[in-house]
Amino acid sequence: MKNKPVVLAFSGGLDTSFCVPWLREQGFDVHTLFVDTGGVSSEEVESIEQRALSLGAVKHHSFDASHAVWNEVLVPLIHSGGWYQAQYPLLCSDRYVIVKASLALCDSLGTKYFAHGCTGMGNDQVRFDLTVRTLGDYEIVAPIRAIQKKGLNVREYEKQKLTELGHEVPDKTDRYTINENLLGVTMSGAEIDDWLEPGDGARLLTSAPQDWPAEALRINITFSKGEAVALDGVAHNGPQLLADLNRRFGDYGVGRGIYTGDTTVGLKGRIVYEAPGITALHVAHRALEEAVSTRLQNSFKPLVSGKWAELVYQGFFYDPLKADLEAYLVQSQQCVNGTVTVYTAGGDVQAVAIDSPHLLTGKHAGYAQYADWSVEEAEGFIRLFGQSSAIWAETNPVKR
């Protein structure tokens, strides 16, 4: 194994920092890769590189994946409208982009060794490992799981080992574990893990009510085939558009929630999440889609959405079923074109106006206002529509 190159998905935090000297001790030449999926300043990107090199990486690589996150995660997420267990907007999904970029670097270096800093306790190890096994023939090296097998207190052991080697790598936060990317922010730890009310510090993108602006916010979001392409008539690329929405709606406290539900590893999970931009896009897209799609399309869509979200959350990002579902979703978006006005005065967001050439409005009928059918036709429709229930009641009289 001496001098075998290995690609380490590197964030600069405690776990991946520990991985660098551990991998060197195993005889690897460590190539660190920071995949920037958003939420990190240019100064932090430079600091991550310096940290990797100081820890002993033979070379550090950086890759801007913001457009990949938009195209591969955000667009199908909005197309589907699927949130995991109808609660969580899948902010973890940048992991798949990170692994894909890491394996591309493995290929360019001619190595089959890929390393990550996941523990054996959470969901991310499932997402990382399943993605690797789906995308090719690679060998996974997981240093944190390796030291867990020894029954050690993992985080304390990591800190002690790094200190002995002369590397001080503090946690990013004293109180919470925070993950941020283009999609939004998740937080865990402290009182969140104890199922108590999250403290005032559990905010990064969203303002508290006392800090909301006094004037309400209205934004026009334009969609083309279900993809947001402009704000207030000004074209934006995807990452710019989402970053703008995160900032503007975050000021009004939009998109903050507490997710409690079932994790992939069989435990109950609880996190605070912030997704202002995704929340605004979801509300706008759903209003437009339901206005231009048929009743049968709208009633069938949740079946696809729920399964798509389940696959993404649980690690099956590259399973063929997900691709099959997305083929349907792309087809379903052909007429999802138009502009939606979204409004917030703080806390939540509403779609208050829709403009589209595909609105399914009848030329001679408007709900509860006017119709081009007769009263007799309406009565006949009602009779036939409810006939099965009426026959059942006649056949099986119920005493009341």
Domain shared by 136 and 160, yes or no: yes
Task: Supply the pLDDT for residue 365.
Answer: 82
Task: Tell me the per-residue pLDDT of 335-359, one tens digit each, with 9 for 90 and over.
Answer: 999 999 999 999 999 999 999 999 9
Cα–Cα distances in angstroms (integers) from residue 393 to residues 178, 379, 397, in the given order: 58, 19, 5
Q: Measured between alpha carbons, how far is 65 from 74 in angstroms, rounded to an integer?
A: 12
SS3 category, 13 = coil
Q: In what order do the strands lie in the sheet with 184-188?
A: 177-181, 184-188, 268-274, 256-262
Domain shared by 214 and 119, yes or no: no
Task: Supply the pLDDT for residue 1.
Answer: 47
Q: In the structure encoding, which two tokens stand for residue 309, read together?
A: 């979200």
SS3 category, 62 = strand
Q: Does pLDDT of 286 surpass 70?
A: yes
Beta bridge pairs of residue 217: 344
pLDDT band, residue 94 (cuts 50/70/90): very high
Q: In the structure encoding, which two tokens stand for residue 110, read together?
A: 């001619």
The one-letter amino acid code at 172 reads: K
Determine the structural domain holding residue 187 and report its residue range: 177-355
Task: Supply the pLDDT for residue 362.
Answer: 81
Q: Residue 121 domain-assigned?
A: yes
Domain shared by 135 and 198, yes or no: no
- Signed CA dihedral, 282, 287, 288, 292: sign only: positive
Task: Supply the pLDDT for residue 350.
Answer: 98
Average pLDDT, the chain: 94
Q: Does pLDDT of 169 surpass 80?
A: no
Task: Supply the pLDDT for residue 266.
Answer: 86
Domain count across the chain:
2
Q: Does pLDDT of 151 surpass 80?
A: yes
- Signed CA dihedral, 234, 237, 240, 244: sign only: positive
- Smallest Cα–Cα separation from 72: which of 99, 101, 90, 93? 93
Domain shared by 201 and 138, yes or no: no
Q: What is the CATH number of the domain that holds 325?
A: 3.90.1260.10
Q: How many helices (H) and strands (E) does the chain have?
A: 15, 14
Task: Tell me the per-residue pLDDT of 27-82, one tens digit each, with 9 for 90 and over.
Answer: 999 999 999 999 889 999 999 999 999 999 999 999 999 999 999 999 999 999 99
Domain shared by 127 and 148, yes or no: yes
**Residue 141 · residue 6 · CB < 8 Å:** yes
Q: Does pLDDT of 173 surpass 60?
A: no
**Could you give the count of Cα atoms lying within 13 Å of 181 in the half-sphere of its Cβ?**
26
Which of 115, 138, 164 represents a domain boundary (last residue)?
Answer: 164
Q: In what order do the strands lie in the sheet with 113-115?
A: 59-64, 28-36, 4-9, 113-115, 139-141
Q: Measured between alpha carbons, how far is 95 from 264 in angstroms, rounded to an integer?
A: 15
**Residue 236 · residue 67 · CB < 8 Å:** no
Q: Which residues contact 233 (CB under 8 A, 6 or more apart)?
A: 220, 222
Domain shared by 310 and 248, yes or no: yes
Query: Exposure pattern of 308-346 as b/e (b: 16+ CB <10 Å)?
Result: bbebbbbbbbbeeebeebbeebeebbebbbbbbbbebeb
Summarize the confidence of residues 151-156 as an average pLDDT: 84
Q: In this prediction, what percent of the chain has a pLDDT beyond 90?
A: 84
Which of 164, 192, 207 represents a domain boundary (last residue)?
Answer: 164
Residue 205 region, left (φ>0) first, then alpha (ψ -120 to 50), else beta? alpha
Task: Supply the pLDDT for residue 399.
Answer: 76
pTM: 0.93
CA angle 133, 136, 137 (to 5 degrees): 85
SS3 category, 121 = coil
Q: Residue 212 domain-assigned?
A: yes
Cα–Cα distances in angstroms (integers) from residue 116 to residues 34, 247, 355, in the given order: 12, 31, 47
DSSP 154: H
Domain shared by 9 and 149, yes or no: yes
pLDDT band, residue 202 (cuts 50/70/90): very high
Q: Residue 194 domain-assigned?
A: yes
Q: Measured between alpha carbons, how far is 128 from 315 in angstroms, rounded to an integer?
A: 8
Domain shared by 123 and 71, yes or no: yes
Q: Residue 365 domain-assigned?
A: no
Task: Tell me the per-residue pLDDT of 9-20, one tens digit each, with 9 for 90 and over.
Answer: 999 999 999 999
Task: Supply the pLDDT for residue 36.
Answer: 97
Q: Residue 64 domain-assigned?
A: yes
CA angle 245, 249, 251 (to 5 degrees): 125
Cα–Cα distances in angstroms (integers) from residue 104 to residues 4, 7, 343, in the given order: 17, 10, 42
Q: Measured between alpha carbons, how far is 133 from 125 in angstroms, rounded to an integer?
A: 12
Q: Residue 391 domain-assigned?
A: no
**Could you give the count of Cα atoms lying within 13 Å of 135 in the half-sphere of its Cβ?**
26
- Smallest Cα–Cα separation from 253: which of 227, 272, 267? 272
Q: Residue 389 domain-assigned?
A: no
Q: In this prediction, what percent of the chain has a pLDDT beyond 70?
A: 98
Q: Does pLDDT of 172 surpass 90?
A: no
Domain shared by 135 and 192, yes or no: no
Q: Does pLDDT of 174 surpass 70?
A: no
Domain shared by 158 and 185, yes or no: no
